[in-house]
Amino acid sequence: MASEIRMDDSSYQKTEQLTGAEIIMRCLHEENVEFVFGYPGGAVLHIYDALFKQNKFKHILVRHEQAAVHAADAYSRATGRVGVALVTSGPGATNAVTGIATAYMDSIPLVVISGQVPTAAIGMDAFQEVDMVGVTRPCVKHNFLVKDARDLATTMKKAFYIAASGRPGPVVVDVPKDITADIAEFAYPKTIEMRSYTPVLKGHSGQIKKAVKLLLEAKRPMIYTGGGLVLGDAAPELVKLAKTLGFPVTNTLMGLGGYPATDPQYVGMLGMHGTYEANNAMQNCDVLLAVGARFDDRVVGNPDHFLSVPRTIIHIDVDPSSISKRVKVDVPIVGHVQSVVAEMNELLAAETKRPDANALKQWWAQIDQWRSKKTADYRLDKDIIKPQQVIEKLWQVTKGDAFVTSDVGQHQMWAAQYYKFDKPRRWINSGGLGTMGVGLPYAMGCQLAFPDAQVACVTGEGSIQMNIQELSTCKQFNLPIKIILLNNRYLGMVRQWQEFFYNNRYSESYMESLPDFVKMAESYGHVGMNIERPEDVEGSLHEAFAMKDRLVFMNFVTDQKENVFPMVPNGKGLSEMILGDEPGADAAQSEGEG
């Protein structure tokens, strides 16, 4: 193992003899970890004992290991730092897997430490044994089984380095119990180099020049940015680029906040539930600049339909395998998005040529015409609360400055459509895996990272029940989260698909026997509110957010049959949207597939 690491001796600090468990603590200290989200058990008892004796980081005891990983994940999304979770072997480890897979799909840097049965018991079907390295292999950036306490420190260093660099992702470090008791010399390498892992940083200058030239010649340009822009902290550079060029910008679900939503050049989110103007501009542009986005199936719809119109595509991504995966691109640029976009800005600053103003004016006129369809409009009702209305008011009451986490379903799409994110790292959701149950633990991660910030968890009555036990964690750690439950008594997104594509056969999508959410919140020691009248929406939100030190569980009883529009049915092209005022469902019916 040592042969692959090059460290000159000077990079070591002075050494000490410590147990494996103590070494793990010291590694976490060296990495300036603030929070470890975890849950104890047999295999990690030595680690928890060492944890008891330290006070540099805070341990957040969750009520389910899945929530530990989600909370660490949200901490990372909100701060840009590596999230850390600690779980025991066997069931603790498998409970963590959904959280790990969720982080993996959205490229979130995590280090997950899992306990393992003692080395000698591995492979014996020992009590609480599971092959964690095998189970997580397909959903981690990398994983390690530590076989010698002397390897612990370097393995931890590698784990943090791999998680955070290149295209980020979760790394699992599986530590057998005996290793945590063994004594070894502790020395934390300051830097690490791995011959097998060398992420690209700077983009190819020739390609960047070519890209800038193409952008300057574009007649119908479009900028499309994704989660990679947010994770790469390149939003300021992108705003500068878009402003210099005057081009329209769209963000993916993962990329919201990458470009300020209230800016006139912003045309809204694109994709399955994107705006009419964003999807049409995407479809009809002649030069497309994609930044930290991956042309996934929910974003470009049917790739053949997308490619049926000729356009030149420039694609900037830190991960070469994201380029030309689903859609062939013309100018690939592999590199850290921040450095590449900054280099484009420098080239533009030195360049006198500007895009063809006339062409751009015509293109904007076309976009404004699409915009005038106002597909985001919805009809307010005087008796029933519309879910869109709740999110709009949430945006107003929080002055657009809250951390908004969401679960998965219709409420997620409404939150994405109606909360206008002006800053990156404010919109925290599971875009890739689409994991119901992330909302509340995500809110915990955000609130811990930013104790004074407003944190709202937009959720559905299906999703919130998937990690409802975390209300107890919120009480223990005094997390004044505001839960915005859009309660439509349905697994709404499932119901919508059943309405459109399965002839209204609502198979198992009704949520029966819901708890009294107010009493439930109160029994956990929180404040509960029922809101049933449209005219009470705004006032109740003000009231809730005024309770700065309390978690408020707001149960908004909303329209049961409201649907998310626009919608690009599965397998259709981006410009083949169903809009809210058209029934449209029939046209899409034959294409339906879950």
Ligand X SMILES: Cc1ncc(C[n+]2csc(CCOP(=O)(O)OP(=O)(O)O)c2C)c(N)n1
Positions in the binding site for other proteins (CB under 8 A): 1, 3-4, 133-134, 137-138, 141-142, 145, 162, 194-197, 319-321, 324-325, 328
Using CB under 6 A as the binding rule, whether residue 411 contacts ligand X is answered as yes
Among 169, 221, 492, 534, binds ligand X (CB under 6 A): 492
Q: CB of residue 272 vs other proteins: minimum separation in angstroms? A: 23
- One of 254, 444, 493, 577 is an active-site residue; which one? 493
**Dihedral Cα 91, 93, 97, 100, nearest 10 deg:** 160
Please state, in angstroms and as integers, the Cα–Cα distance from residue 484 to each residue in 481, 531, 533, following that order: 9, 10, 15
- C-alpha 73, offset from chain centre: 8
Q: Of 454 and 463, which has the nearer Cβ to ligand X?
A: 463
Q: Using CB distances below 5 to 8 A depending on partner kind, what does residue 575 bind out of ligand X, other proteins, none?
A: none
Q: Does 559 bind ligand X (CB under 6 A)?
A: no
Q: Which tokens in the block code for residue 566?
A: 């626009």
460 interacts with, out of ligand X, other proteins, none, CB within 5 to 8 A per kind: ligand X
Question: Among 204, 102, 170, 143, which Cα is nearest to 439's?
Answer: 102
> Minimum distance from CB of 594 to ligand X (Å)?
9
- Under the binding rule (CB under 6 A), the answer on residue 463 touching ligand X is yes
Is 177 part of the annotated catalytic residue set?
A: yes
Active-site annotation holds for 577: no
Which one of ligand X, other proteins, none is in contact with 492 (Cβ closer than 5 to 8 A by kind)?
ligand X
Q: Stretches 63-71, 75-83, 276-284, 455-463: which one binds ligand X (CB under 6 A)? A: 455-463
Q: If binding is defined by CB under 6 A, does position 439 make contact with ligand X?
A: no
| 24 versus 493: smaller Cβ distance to ligand X | 493
- For the bound state, the minimum distance from the C-beta of residue 3 to other proteins, rounded and expressed in Å, comes to 5
User: Which of these is catalytic: 157, 158, 177, 420?
Assistant: 177
Rounded distance, CA 181 to CA 176, Å?
9
What are the start-end ranges of the H helices in 420-568?
Answer: 439-449, 470-476, 492-501, 517-523, 537-546
Catalytic residue among 65, 277, 343, 392: 65
b/e per residue 53-78 (b: at least 16 CB within 10 A): eeeebebbebbbbbbbbbbbbbbbbb
Among 136, 312, 488, 498, binds ligand X (CB under 6 A): 488
The closest alpha carbon to 163, from 212, 213, 100, belongs to: 100
Burial pattern 306-343, b for ≥16 Cβ within 10 A else e, equals beeeebbbbbbbbbeebbeeebebebbbbbbbbbbbbb
**Nearest distance from residue 497's CB to ligand X, in Å?**
9
185 is catalytic: no
Q: Is the dihedral of CA 177, 180, 184, 188 positive or negative?
A: positive
Residue choice 408, 456, 471, 520 for contact with ligand X (CB under 6 A): 408
Q: Is 128 a catalytic residue?
A: yes
CA 424 to chain centre: 11
Catalytic residue annotation = 65, 127-128, 177, 493
Judged by the rule CB under 6 A, the positions of this chain that interact with ligand X are: 407-411, 434-437, 460-463, 486, 488, 490-494
